[in-house]
């Protein structure tokens, strides 16, 4: 099938209600049975057809009553208010799983959503440091999340970890972090010291783009 030509190279932050590591990444059930959280990404370089998307940010708030694959989810998209109308349309098309294979991350997640409140157009705060395993994402009055390295509960020393998924549909590698976040409005949530990850991934209509360099996190 032919799709609009698009590609986005992204820095991503994800926070969810699961324990560190997130059982979902290993085909397990969510730690607390439900799954909820927030996410954001900054597009380093990107385009959708003739529309450039460089530097724009998107975010989202989500919740599923059980495992993601069982559906029944709610997802509210947040789009960078700096985007033009054509950029907004392009970003919402990508996030909704359109103009791409049904096996891509955006399309898979979109197929599990039953409720989509109107998108929010607002400034998105975004900080991302892969080497330090730190990050921050926020939209004033909507949600906020802070990510920091996981620490050994006995010694307080950094506990560095990463997940590699050679055939992952969402990422190939992600650095693990401890996340504290909250949101208001359509999905109210408040979590401390839960699963967080930082990753660098590129997507196109066929999924995660192979062969691109992943920044070294170092120690």
Structure confidence by residue, pLDDT tens digits, 110-168:
999 999 999 999 999 999 999 999 999 999 999 999 999 999 999 999 999 999 999 99
176 within 8 A of 150, measured Cβ to Cβ: yes
Q: Dig out the tokens for 114 from the structure.
A: 């039953």
Pairing of strands 73-80, 134-139: unpaired
Residues 6+ apart with CB under 8 A from 176: 20, 21, 133, 150, 160, 161, 162, 163, 195, 196, 197
Instruction: Provide the pLDDT for residue 210.
Output: 81
Instruction: Provide the pLDDT for residue 26.
Output: 93
The per-residue DSSP string of 186-211 comes to: TS-EEEEEEEEEEEEEEEETTEEPTT
Instruction: Provide the pLDDT for residue 219.
Output: 44
Host H or E run for residue 106? helix 105-110
Instruction: Provide the pLDDT for residue 217.
Output: 59
State pTM to two decimals. Answer: 0.94
Pairing of strands 51-52, 57-64: unpaired
User: In Å, how far from its chain's centre is CA 80?
Assistant: 15
| Weakly modelled stretches of the chain, pLDDT under 50 | 218-219
CA 64/CA 151 separation, integer angstroms: 28
């Amino acid at each position: 099938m032919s799709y609009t030509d698009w590609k986005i190279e992204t820095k991503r932050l994800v926070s969810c209600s699961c324990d560190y590591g997130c059982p979902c990444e290993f085909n397990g059930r969510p730690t607390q049975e439900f799954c909820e959280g927030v996410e954001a990404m900054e597009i380093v370089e990107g385009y959708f057809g003739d529309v450039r998307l460089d530097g724009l940010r998107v975010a989202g708030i989500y919740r599923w009553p059980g495992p993601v694959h069982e559906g029944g989810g709610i997802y509210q998209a947040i789009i960078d208010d700096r985007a033009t109308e054509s950029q907004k349309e392009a970003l919402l098309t990508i996030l909704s799983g359109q103009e791409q294979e049904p096996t891509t991350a955006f399309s898979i997640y979109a197929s599990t959503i039953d409720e989509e409140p109107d998108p929010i157009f607002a400034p998105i705060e975004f900080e991302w440091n892969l080497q330090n395993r730190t990050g921050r994402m926020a939209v004033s009055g909507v949600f906020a999340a802070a990510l920091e390295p996981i620490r050994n509960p006995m010694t307080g020393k950094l506990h560095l970890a990463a997940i590699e998924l050679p055939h992952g549909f969402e990422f190939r590698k992600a650095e693990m972090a401890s996340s504290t976040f909250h949101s208001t409005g359509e999905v109210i949530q408040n979590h401390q010291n839960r699963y967080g990850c930082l990753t660098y991934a590129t997507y196109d209509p066929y999924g995660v783009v192979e062969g691109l360099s992943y920044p070294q996190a170092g120690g």
